[in-house]
Structure 1
Amino acid sequence: MRVLLSTYGTRGDVEPLVALAVRLRARGVEVRMCAPPDEEFAGRLAGIGVRLVPVGPPVREMMRGSALPSAAELSRYRAEMLETQFDVFPAALDGCDALVAAGLAQVAARSAAEAAGVRYVYVSYAAVHLPSPHHAPPPRPGWPEPEVDDHAARWELDARNVNAQFAEALNGHRAAIGLPPVDNVRDHVLTDRPWLAADPVLGGWRETPGLDVVQTGAWSLPDERPLPADLVAFLDAGTPPVYVGFGSMRPAQDIGRMTVEAIRAQGHRVLVSRGWADLDLTDDRDDCFAVGEANHQRLFGELAAVVHHGGAGTTSTAARAGTPQLVIPLQLSDNPYWAGRVADLGIGAALDGPPPTADSLDIALKTALAPGTRARARALGSRVRTDGAEVAAGLLAGALG
């Protein structure tokens, strides 16, 4: 049995499929993965014995600036990605029994699976990416935000935007390989039975007509790596610090500095995660420490709070650790959704709106660091599941027989 996994994006897009790959391989399934050609992804996949099929340009190069590429550049990237996928997928699918695709960028995936006669599964890492009257669609970079408040109308406009970008090219390729046209590209990619790799407590799905969503729980692996010795020494040298990190995202230049100052003003030590933004210390005071790659599963339980951008993986890891969160979301993808979930559940605070100020950061930090917030975070943490990847692997292996 052989399965092709496919995604395109940052580490938060790749790691859940890594977890699924490990669980599938434990069941004797051969796995290969289409992913960006960044060195860190190639090394990660080699380490678990999964063949990388590189697709598209390196993601890290695209994320170098503090701003996203322009709308015209994003449109070009999307069009080129569609062409690349139709070039790459047929050979990558050779001998495969199924294709699991994560993210709307996988526009060609279902067509390639149909042409190869293999099972196709679409997976989302957050409920907000799936059409529902219970929430609006997430911000899609490079496309204008609809000027309407009704959720159904916003989802309809979202579908039109996706069609405007992809329908002509997708249907041209489908005709060339003997497949009928599709009239709604987004829903074609999602299918009417998508999988949702998110924790039911943290980001549950509300029943929606027309979608039979299979919620497995978030896909992750236990991480047993020790923390670096110098980080352990910093943790041991005082009270639990507040973590500040934005993962693969690059926030506005002043956000990191302002956050560090706000944390210090409340008498807390600070742990800065460099990430792709290469955040660093603002001075040489001993109440602040900068760290590179580290085991978040082991680290987050040692902290007073986690300040981050609202990525699905970071939100889930902090929630599972029972550590309060302050989410400063970029207006991108599912970041605002996870900010809202953290605030609604009372396990932290969110600054989802105007750019943060010293006053708004001060208020949000006080909320995140309040005893009641910590108590709620700890209570929820004990309910967060860790078996999502195993559940998904079992479902897929069972379906393939």
Structure 2
Amino acid sequence: MVALALELRDLGQQVHLCAPPDFRAWIDGLALPVTPIGPPLRTGSRSQAAPSPPSPQQLRQLARDSVTAQFETVAAAAKGCDVIVAATALQVAARSVAELMDIPYVFAAYCPAVLPSAHHAPPVSPVPGPPTTDNGQLWARDAALFNGAFGDALNAHRTSVGLDPVDDVRGHIFTDRPWLAADQALAPWPEPTAGEVVQTGAWMPPDRPALPAELVAFLEAGEPPVYFGFGSSAGAPEGVTQAMIESARAHGRRVIVSRGWAGLSPDEDAPDCLSIGDVNHQALFTQVAAVVHHGGAGTTTTAARAGAPQVIIPQAYDQYYWAQRVDRLGIGTEHPQVTPTAGSLATALDRVLRADVAARARAVAATVRTDGARVAARRLMAGGGSTGHP
């Protein structure tokens, strides 16, 4: 969303972002107007203790509170705006606010698996119900989950402001012509006729500042290292950082460990290992032997653009899709769905630290487009692909 906002601003448009409060400092630093919405994300991600599952009554209250906050916050932030763009399936109120303001609304997904299709199952798995491999049934159950979680809260608010209730919450959020902010080569929309989905390409922000001097010195001191990081994923399994280091050493490789939201940190201070914070991945990934990560849309696309072989350790949601795509494209491999160990990671690295995989990764990198956010920005300005009211 920041990438899209920057492109719109470069094209002379005014923008306003709604984002979790722990992103505010970063967005403020880009001189983009931002309104905090919802709870901080990083605080929850760092929690290692598994909380008790909420009761049905607590879930209903959480849904009511969330939808109420969304109606209030989005309505205030969108005053004077010409269009609302939502890019999360949990942004339940945005389309209703657009209706009240009589302006267009666009929903964008970052991964094909988020949008219903006969060619894939929902990203939230398993969907409650009897076991089945029928994707149509799984998507119907997924729709029922949305209705059960948010239907009452959404319709109560819609009725209170004079809007008609909706009977398909997910369809209401997604619209009948959603946008897909994913690269066509890396993550194509699977339907034979793609007219119902507008694929713009991935929305990637421009290069950030140069790499820190310590990181540059480490990169220049030897052969390309292996990068490890779980990005914004939740707490990592105990001991996984040491397993990462040992797996790279088994291949004679140095190691870069990104602390990320999980707080990964080596237990030792060794010359072949460097711990880093937030850096410019677009610059870093062109200088590593492989990228081992959680499989988020942004990290996967950035590594693919850089031509870096990948090992993906999926943990949730769309990460399984990205792991499968990287494997099918021949630019990396999917780690088995078990707790990573030094042995399992070394085996995965053995599959990607090969000349043919590196060559394939470079070939695919040449096909990954870099103008997705610009395409989306121009389309918004032209009014194309936006969906108005039900």
TM-score range, shorter chain: over 0.9
Take 1:290 and 1:94, find their aligned partners in 2: how far apart are those partners?
43
Question: How far has the Cα of 1:218 moved from its partner?
Answer: 0.4
Take 2:319 and 2:187, find their aligned partners in 1: how far apart are those partners?
12
* The 10-residue stretch of structure 1 (214-223 or 380-389) with the greater mean CA deviation from structure 2: 214-223
The aligned runs of 1:109-128 (5 Å cut-off) are: 109-128=94-113
**CA-to-partner distance for each residue in 1:19-59, whole Å, 9 max, x for gaps?**
11011111221111111111xx2122222322111111111
Take 1:31 and 1:293, find their aligned partners in 2: how far apart are those partners?
25
1:267 alignment partner in structure 2: 252
Matched, 1:183 2:162: no
**CA-to-partner distance for each residue in 1:226-257, whole Å, 9 max, x for gaps?**
11111111111111100001111132223222
8 A contact 1:271–1:288 mirrored in 2: yes
Residue type at the aligned position of 1:390? R
Matched, 1:313 2:295: no
8 A contact 2:143–2:170 mirrored in 1: yes
Take 2:220 and 2:199, find their aligned partners in 1: how far apart are those partners?
39
Residue type at the aligned position of 1:29? Q
Take 1:145 and 1:319, find their aligned partners in 2: how far apart are those partners?
36
Candidates 125, 130, 155, aligned match of 1:171: 155
* The 10-residue stretch of structure 1 (70-79 or 383-392) with the greater mean CA deviation from structure 2: 70-79
The aligned runs of 1:375-394 (5 Å cut-off) are: 375-394=359-378
SS at match of 1:200: coil
* CA spacing shift, 1:241–1:390, aligned 2, 3 Å: same
Residue type at the aligned position of 1:105? L
Take 2:14 and 2:185, find their aligned partners in 1: how far apart are those partners?
32
User: What TM-score, normalized by structure 2, do the two folds share?
Assistant: 0.93
Question: How far has the Cα of 1:79 moved from its partner?
Answer: 3.9
The aligned runs of 1:1-400 (5 Å cut-off) are: 17-38=1-22, 41-66=23-48, 70-72=52-54, 75=59, 77-139=62-124, 144=128, 147-207=131-191, 212-249=196-233, 250-330=235-315, 332-399=316-383
* The 10-residue stretch of structure 1 (149-158 or 321-330) with the greater mean CA deviation from structure 2: 149-158
Question: How far has the Cα of 1:358 moved from its partner?
Answer: 3.9
8 A contact 2:187–2:325 mirrored in 1: yes
Question: How far has the Cα of 1:67 moved from its partner?
Answer: 5.9
* CA spacing shift, 1:146–1:28, aligned 2, 3 Å: farther
SS at match of 2:105: strand
SS at match of 1:34: strand
Take 2:284 and 2:114, find their aligned partners in 1: how far apart are those partners?
29
User: What TM-score, normalized by structure 1, do the two folds share?
Assistant: 0.90
Identity %: 50
Take 1:284 and 1:27, find their aligned partners in 2: how far apart are those partners?
47
Q: Gaps spanning 5+ residues in structure 2: where?
A: none
Residue type at the aligned position of 1:193? R
8 A contact 2:46–2:263 mirrored in 1: no
8 A contact 1:339–1:352 mirrored in 2: no
8 A contact 1:310–1:329 mirrored in 2: yes
* The 10-residue stretch of structure 1 (60-69 or 43-52) with the greater mean CA deviation from structure 2: 60-69
Take 2:229 and 2:341, find their aligned partners in 1: how far apart are those partners?
18
Take 1:283 and 1:229, find their aligned partners in 2: how far apart are those partners?
21
Residue type at the aligned position of 1:42? R
Size of the aligned set, in residue pairs, is: 381
8 A contact 2:236–2:264 mirrored in 1: no
* CA spacing shift, 1:367–1:67, aligned 2, 3 Å: farther
Question: How far has the Cα of 1:60 moved from its partner?
Answer: 1.2
Q: Give the number of the structure with larger relative contact order, counting CA–CA contacts within 8 Å between residues 6 or more apart.
A: 2
1:9 alignment partner in structure 2: none
Take 2:142 and 2:24, find their aligned partners in 1: how far apart are those partners?
33
Question: How far has the Cα of 1:370 moved from its partner?
Answer: 1.5
Question: How far has the Cα of 1:357 moved from its partner?
Answer: 3.8
Take 2:284 and 2:194, find their aligned partners in 1: how far apart are those partners?
41
8 A contact 1:133–1:208 mirrored in 2: no
Residue type at the aligned position of 2:26? R
* CA spacing shift, 1:20–1:310, aligned 2, 3 Å: same
Take 2:130 and 2:51, find their aligned partners in 1: how far apart are those partners?
20
1:12 alignment partner in structure 2: none
**CA-to-partner distance for each residue in 1:205-244, whole Å, 9 max, x for gaps?**
0127897100000011221521111111111111110000
Take 1:260 and 1:67, find their aligned partners in 2: how far apart are those partners?
25
8 A contact 2:308–2:358 mirrored in 1: yes
1:11 alignment partner in structure 2: none
